[in-house]
Structure 1
Amino acid sequence: MAKQIGRFDAIIVGARIAGCVTAAALAQRGWSILLVERAQFPRPTLSTHLFFSDTLHALQRAGLLEPILRIGAPRIRWLRFPYVAAPFPASKGFDFALCIRREVLDTLLFEAVRSLSNVTALTGARVTAVRQVDDRRWDVVVATTSGEWLTSAPLVIGADGRDSTVARQVRAPVLAYIPPLFAWYYTYVDGLPWDGDVAALAYRGDYPDIGAEYAAAFLFPCDAGLTLVGYGVEHRAFSAFRRDVTQHFVAGLRRIPEVWERFASARRVAPIRGTGRLPNFLRQASGSGWALVGDAGCHQDPHSVQGMGNAARSAWLLAEELARVQTEGIDLQQALARYARRRDDDLLPLFAFTTFELRRQLPDDIWERFEARTREDPDLASLRVAAMVHAVHPATVYTPERVTSIANGAVIPPLQPA
């Protein structure tokens, strides 16, 4: 029989970015939190690593930013991708991005949250059951090396990634699903030469030997003097690529001279990790006494670099709405419903862009003019980068109506610092 470990105001499953921001934000408001994490830190996780001003601002508001800044990772001022190049805009006091190894970043976040007096944090702990007792209580069974424990709360929050146990146990409906688009792999190197601005760089390529008409590589300056080097192919080439990951990773980079010249002069210091199991989905964000944040609620291909920002923003949106239960006396379920609407409004424009659903809604000539204008008009390039980092609402750019208007010559005002 499971041993009792008490009742909490909320149980959060998953203690990486989404879980830690949620826990810290609710703890600030006096909530008692049980934070349950399956891993033992430090431990890496598959990630694009790059995060922007939206994530920095959420970490700052949750009281988690200072240890992250002390890592001393390079402040990345420019984004130079195949479809857009512009400096990062000033937004809420930040005009840079960071790239930090997840075993470093997540460990610091967890240690900061674990130190909060009203947070009980468990690692190496696996949730085996999530059961709704009534409309005011969930029972959660947690397995640890010392046995099974039973705990209860009126609210269960899944921050446990795309294969979320919480989502499965509460039967969270899937609102949208698009199969994997690409397979992505990465490693870290030391001694990669940089010149000019510190920038997040990405380049297009191809790899016809394994059936990939589209491939891409990226270089992100990382903590500890390292560089994150990544390579990806369209999903139909995933099976061929994974037969010999190291060979195909190196051969693919060799086909992109701008990357290969740098990579060949650096020293690889980590294994090559990655996957093609990258489904795109949007799950319902909340229900009766439960909520999902981060990848548990929405997962999309990393090519638009939204994962860490989505995690931080959704966590903060949930905390904001839950705060209204105390400050305004609204019902918990009302707060959860408001969170779901806000999360969808926040995520859907870039989800449509990332999955190419937006592109499919538009005539070819409109999209081609939109892309051409991005290359020619620095104000539009700046606006698209601002949308990527949520310095402006992504719907400012990424709706069929806005893309059409921009393609047809709509005036793009210069960005003002936010």
Structure 2
Amino acid sequence: MERFDVAIVGAGPAGSSAAISLARKGYSVILLERAIFPREKLCGDFLNPANWPLLERLGVVDEILSLEHEKVTAFRISTFSGAEAAISFPSRNGRTLFGLGLRRSSLDDLLLRSAQREGVQVKQGCKVGSLAKEVGGWSLSLGDQSPGESVSSTFLIGADGRNSWVAHRLGLALPGKADKYVAFQTHLRGARGVKGNVQIHCFPGGYAGLVGLGGESANLCFVVENSHTTKKGISLEALLENHLYKNISLRESLKGSEIVGKLRSTYPVHLPPRRSYGDGYLLVGDAARVSEPVTGEGVYFALRSGSLAAEVMDLAFKRGNGSAEQLACYLRLCQKAFYFRQRANRIIGALVYRPFLLAPFLRLSSTTSFPLRPLVDRLCGASGFLE
């Protein structure tokens, strides 16, 4: 049985970020991923400017900018009542911070290849069959493309998403409250008005996000009430006509566009937080449920939590102590790092689901830029890349 310092289950941004950071510190790392990259995933496909310092530390900025993308320098939001506001990202010395509309499949594949270059052993198409705590660490049996193979590690990181198998095996799967919302995502060709901006459009019972991906491509994500999707044979066309098109701005943006991607969905949208640390393990990214899917910051939370996990495990190795008490500092670091962003997500989430509150907020912002201006400035960060 091959042994590693750290075994990471899940090779999305959180898992790859942790793997790269740990490998650079000299630790042996195995990264286990059940899919084969590149693979599509339900995501808003938006990189907030705040991600640039994290990506720069990972050494992947030039590669990311070489991928097909849409440079984003403004945020636009509207309600079905007609209230609308557009705010540019922060500027310094006449130059504007920028984010990217970028396919998640391309980003994840790039990060995984970067982890391999750092010496991380990667197994794709590999479903973990069992997980057991043993003296001195963990034992994982591998299935699918590695039947009968097992690996062991001193520490374990669960980076396998919101419905984390690792969390379930560790007994951390909390019963969720019944959620009234379902999230959908697809790709389009020919959407209007998506050059240079990321958009949120509210409609009765939900909201949609729209961002260009370079060329004629765009990503459309939207959340609707579950009661509207229970009818058998519900189609994207019906959802558009009966819900999204109630917002005139969104209808104009989608007019004449062509659906070119598979319609993906996930339920429930909102999940309760779960314990993210314990004896010899940490959970990162969506597995730790550190984010709410409103402002398109899932990648930021994933990358940051992955790097924080690497810092905490490095300290645990140096102290020879992987107890829950030692690893508890990971939770405190995450709470400190994400405090403002989580509060902002809750505020924006409350507004987009209540357009009667959002409309006056937007009308005020369209004339004075307050309070949307300081909120966008904080969410974008002060150290992103300039256009």
Q: What TM-score, normalized to structure 1?
A: 0.78
Residues 231 and 249, structure 1, Cα contact 8 Å, conserved in 2 = no
Question: Which stretches in structure 2 are left out of the alignment for 5+ residues?
Answer: 79-83, 352-356
The SS at the match of 1:280 is coil
Distance in 2, Cα, partners of 1:367 & 1:201: 15
Residues 6 and 157, structure 2, Cα contact 8 Å, conserved in 1 = yes
Structure 2 residue 171 is the aligned partner of structure 1 residue 171: yes
Residues 191 and 266, structure 1, Cα contact 8 Å, conserved in 2 = yes
Distance in 2, Cα, partners of 1:294 & 1:380: 29
**CA drift at 1:45:** 1.1
Structure 2 residue 42 is the aligned partner of structure 1 residue 46: yes
Distance in 1, Cα, partners of 2:276 & 2:96: 28
In the alignment, which residue of structure 2 is the partner of 1:160? 160
In the alignment, which residue of structure 2 is the partner of 1:133? 134
Question: Cα gap change, 1:200/1:369 in structure 2, threshold over 3 Å: closer, same or farther?
Answer: closer
Tell me the alpha carbon deviations over residues 382-413 of structure 1, each in whole angstroms, 9 at most, x when there is no partner.
Answer: 22123434559xxxxxxxxxxxxxxxxxxxxx
The SS at the match of 1:109 is helix
In the alignment, which residue of structure 1 is the partner of 2:145? 145
In the alignment, which residue of structure 2 is the partner of 1:16? 12
Tell me the alpha carbon deviations over residues 36-82 of structure 1, each in whole angstroms, 9 at most, x when there is no partner.
Answer: 00001121111122121233322221223322111141210111124
Distance in 1, Cα, partners of 2:210 & 2:232: 20
Residues 246 and 272, structure 1, Cα contact 8 Å, conserved in 2 = no
Distance in 2, Cα, partners of 1:230 & 1:251: 16
Q: Give the residue type in structure 2 aligned to 1:60.
A: E
Distance in 1, Cα, partners of 2:333 & 2:177: 22
Residues 173 and 283, structure 1, Cα contact 8 Å, conserved in 2 = yes
Residues 316 and 327, structure 2, Cα contact 8 Å, conserved in 1 = no
Which structure has more relative contact order (CA 8 Å, sep 6+)? It is: 2
**CA drift at 1:224:** 4.6
The SS at the match of 1:152 is strand
Q: What TM-score, normalized to structure 2?
A: 0.84
Distance in 1, Cα, partners of 2:239 & 2:211: 20
**CA drift at 1:259:** 2.3
In the alignment, which residue of structure 1 is the partner of 2:81? none
In the alignment, which residue of structure 2 is the partner of 1:80? 76
Structure 2 residue 99 is the aligned partner of structure 1 residue 97: yes
Question: Cα gap change, 1:352/1:22 in structure 2, threshold over 3 Å: closer, same or farther?
Answer: same
Q: Give the residue type in structure 1 aligned to 2:141.
A: V
Task: Compute the RMSD of aligned alpha carbons.
Answer: 3.3
In the alignment, which residue of structure 2 is the partner of 1:59? 55
The SS at the match of 1:30 is coil
Tell me the alpha carbon deviations over residues 82-114 of structure 1, each in whole angstroms, 9 at most, x when there is no partner.
Answer: 4874222369x9922212222222222212212
Tell me the alpha carbon deviations over residues 226-263 of structure 1, each in whole angstroms, 9 at most, x when there is no partner.
Answer: 11123332344342497333322344333222222332
In the alignment, which residue of structure 1 is the partner of 2:111? 109
Question: Cα gap change, 1:94/1:155 in structure 2, threshold over 3 Å: closer, same or farther?
Answer: farther
In the alignment, which residue of structure 2 is the partner of 1:401? none
The SS at the match of 2:143 is strand
In the alignment, which residue of structure 1 is the partner of 2:188? 189
The SS at the match of 2:27 is coil
Distance in 1, Cα, partners of 2:14 & 2:366: 34
In the alignment, which residue of structure 1 is the partner of 2:329? 338
State, as a whole percentage, how many aligned pairs show the same letter. Answer: 24
Residues 70 and 102, structure 2, Cα contact 8 Å, conserved in 1 = no
Distance in 2, Cα, partners of 1:113 & 1:377: 45
The SS at the match of 2:191 is coil
Distance in 2, Cα, partners of 1:77 & 1:181: 33
**CA drift at 1:367:** 9.7
In the alignment, which residue of structure 1 is the partner of 2:354? none
The SS at the match of 1:304 is coil
Question: Which stretches in structure 1 are left out of the alignment for 5+ residues?
Answer: 207-213, 361-365, 393-416
The SS at the match of 2:273 is strand
**CA drift at 1:295:** 0.5
In the alignment, which residue of structure 2 is the partner of 1:274? 265
Tell me the alpha carbon deviations over residues 185-237 of structure 1, each in whole angstroms, 9 at most, x when there is no partner.
Answer: 23222233338x6111122222xxxxxxx232332011454111233323443
In the alignment, which residue of structure 2 is the partner of 1:404? none
Distance in 2, Cα, partners of 1:33 & 1:180: 37
